A and B are shown apart, each in its own frame.
Chain A
Amino acid sequence: AIRMTQSPSSLSASTGDRVTITCRASQGISSYLAWYQQKPGKAPKLLIYAASTLQSGVPSRFSGSGSGTDFTLTISCLQSEDFATYYCQQYYSYPVTFGQGTRLEIK
């Protein structure tokens, strides 16, 4: 199985900050990479697919980049509703696998 490793595991930031989360795949996955946001007690929400394509309805302050093995999720100008846990996921092959998550907390 392809292993997905996110960094950092947790992150403290303030409203208005710009933050970047990194995801590394154990082998090349082209651009078959998605990012999700999950809030406590809720289902994950798709933010970005194909590494850099914004899902419909997702604010433009979210952006993704990368291909092959290294990917990033950037949130420019953090809003209060952005404090949550973020997961990357590869869908290059089954079993699809997720990163361990990055918890974004209010500083």
Chain B
Amino acid sequence: EVQLVESGGGLVQPGGSLRLSCAASGFTVSSNYMSWVRQAPGKGLEWVSVIYSGGSTYYADSVKGRFTISRHNSKNTLYLQMNSLRAEDTAVYYCARARSGYSIDAFDIWGQGTMVTVSS
């Protein structure tokens, strides 16, 4: 079965760090364009970051310089390292796969989400 399972969310103080993981099954993370998308409580969807199959990465301006997307090929897992966290980073974080796999595309597979709360 093709699926994504996120983990690593939790409560963190402002200025702190957290690393999210997204374990994939049924397909190969490194062969696909993989993104993180977040959703603040009661709000809409916001794209955060993407890693291409070739390794290139891109970020939303709101997280650039603070967040880092990466992957571990042998573990078939996607990561999001989040540093210098702010209250406005509080959200459910989803990992998602681009439908075509090799280009910017709609997201056809989503994880269940992991909640990140930034508060003192």
Contacts and interface: CB of A to CB of B under 8 A. Distances in A.
Given A43-B111, A43-B112, A46-B99, A100 B105 contact: no
Contacts, number: 57
Interface string A33-49: 01010000011111001
Most chain-B Cβ atoms within 10 A of its Cβ — which of A49, A55, A99? A49
Interface residues of A, number: 24
Interface residues of B, number: 21
Contact of B50 (A50, A87, A94, A100): A94
A56 to B, nearest CB: 9
Nearest to B60: A95
Contacts of A101: 44-45
Contacts of B61: 95
Contacts of B113: 43
B111 A49 contact: no
Interface of B: 35, 44-47, 50, 58, 60-61, 94, 98-99, 104-108, 110-113
